[in-house]
Amino acid sequence: MRPGLAARLSRVLAGCHPRRWRERYGEELLDVLDQHQASARTVLNLAASAVSTHLDPAYRMEGFSMTRLRRAALISAALAAPLVLFAAFFLYGMWQEGHWQPTTDDALAAVAFSPHRAILVTAFGESGDGVDVLWDATDLSRPQRLSQFEGGEPTALSPDGRTVATIAFNGRPALWNVANPRRPVKIATLPCCDGNLLWGQAFSPDGQILAAAYYDQIYLWDVADPARPRLLRTLDAAVTSPPQAVVGNSLAVPFSPQDIAFSPGGGILASATGTDQVTLWNVTDPAHAYRIAAIGGAGDFIQAFTFSPRGNLIAAVPYHGTVLVYSLADPARPARIATVRGLLTRAVFPSGLPRPSETPLCATCDGLGNYAVAFTPDGHTLTVVVDREEMSANSGRDTIFDWPVNSAGTLGAVTAAARDVADFQPVIAPGDRTVLGSPPGSHAWHAWPLP
């Protein structure tokens, strides 16, 4: 800085001190400046001195000018306060819209397992949004929370446990890399289907294909490189969610864990389509997948279905509590080989408690049952869990039915057990005799061992 400029700035800064200070020391300071060779250091020093003196309590309260300044600041603050409040509410509203907030009615929206990795994903909320939580599922009785992310629902976990498929907040399916389950990273948003409601997703057993079931179409994606998904085929099929159930005074849609699923060999894709059917697709060549058959057709929504471990059977449970078992020896002509009716009645009125003949079934309960169905890993037992919520009694009851499965696929004599637990929508962990459930409005889930 040139000495002349520094000298001028120094004089200006001398005048920036409080008035009373200037009256006392101003002339002396100017006298010193007349003799002192000013530099940039002098300028900075005087600026700091001016600020410091203004903050000095001995000079802070002086004069009318400061009072007027304070008054102006007070008036400005009073005028600005409503604007600041409005802006705060506005920004909070935007934040609320952009972030999922659980409500007391939100139940467990989705659960996804990985067959080869001891982690699972849970999500609470309604269709189209939700916070996903990753858990260490080494011991389901003591799950360890690993991380969470705003991924949405429903969730599907790739067989290697490295990729989670969700429907993101903006309505699009998204893929998340959870190779490090403590740091999930969004790696892709699938570019399709805005406004078309997504019901479910499933990875093929080799993890190469992701099937996304929308309201009226199924999209098959090549996800060999999950960061660059490639659309292979769209299948025209209305994929439906089960009908609404009454929960308390409101309607809720219990998620169906088996809207869409690949057979264990990966050659068949099954989707709960239409009102009462499960459609089977040949996806041996996903780019040329085609419809091969449909099962069901009993006039009742199919809420849950599952393939047997060898893929030779498929078991389905319609909404009013019938078990249907089909042989897939010839997938183009599924043959029904077992039909068991009356699960719901047996769940509500177990042995020793006769059903009043004059009372219609739904008059005695708050809603129909929710089901989970699974074969044991050896394929020798078929298990159906029926969950019944008794809202009036603020309790729930699960009834567990087990049938031995003979070599022909027919079912032997049933055994039943019951457990007083509110699961809302039970899920049977694959390969494990464990049921996951979540009481409505609890925002928590629990696991209990099957008998």
User: Which is closer to another protein, CB of 48 or CB of 85?
Assistant: 48
Site for another protein in 199-238 (CB under 8 A): none
Per CB under 8 A, does 11 bind another protein?
no
Per CB under 8 A, does 10 bind another protein?
yes
Per CB under 8 A, does 74 bind another protein?
no
3-state SS string for the chain: CCHHHHHHHHHHHHCCCCHHHHHHHHHHHHHHHHHCCCCHHHHHHHHHHHHHHHHCHHHHCCHHHHHHHHHHHHHHHHHHHHHHHHHHHHHHHHHHHHCCCCCCCCCEEEEEEECCEEEEEEEECCCCCCEEEEEECCCCCCCEEEEEECCCCCCEECCCCCEEEEECCCCCEEEEECCCCCCCEEEEECCCCCCCCEEEEEECCCCCEEEEEECCEEEEEECCCCCCCEEEEEEECCECCCCCEEECCEEECCCCCCCEEECCCCCEEEEEECCCEEEEEECCCHHHCEEEEEEECCCCCEEEEEECCCCCEEEEEECCCCEEEEECCCCCCCEEEEEECCHHHHHHCCCCCCCCCCCCHHHHCCCCCEEEEEECCCCCEEEEEEEEEEHHHCEEEEEEEEEEECCCCCECCCEEEEECCCCCCCEECCCCCEEEECCCCCCCCEEEECC
Site for another protein in 108-127 (CB under 8 A): none
User: Which is closer to another protein, CB of 11 or CB of 336?
Assistant: 11
User: Which is closer to another protein, CB of 30 or CB of 253?
Assistant: 30
Per CB under 8 A, does 99 bind another protein?
no
Per CB under 8 A, does 28 bind another protein?
yes
Candidates 23-31, 87-95, 127-135, 236-244 — which segment interacts with another protein by CB under 8 A? 23-31
Per CB under 8 A, does 27 bind another protein?
yes
Answer for which of 8, 24, 60, 70 binds another protein (CB under 8 A) is: 24
- The minimum distance between CB 64 and another protein, in angstroms, equals 22
Q: How many residues bind another protein (CB under 8 A)?
A: 25
Candidates 25-33, 210-218, 287-295, 402-410 — which segment interacts with another protein by CB under 8 A? 25-33
- The minimum distance between CB 122 and another protein, in angstroms, equals 57
User: Which is closer to another protein, CB of 59 or CB of 424?
Assistant: 59
State the amino acid at position 260 in one-letter form.
I
Which string of x and - marks every residue 32-71 that binds another protein (by CB under 8 A)?
A: xx-xx----xx--xxxxxx-xx----x-------------
Footprint of another protein (CB under 8 A): 10, 13, 21, 24-25, 27-33, 35-36, 41-42, 45-50, 52-53, 58
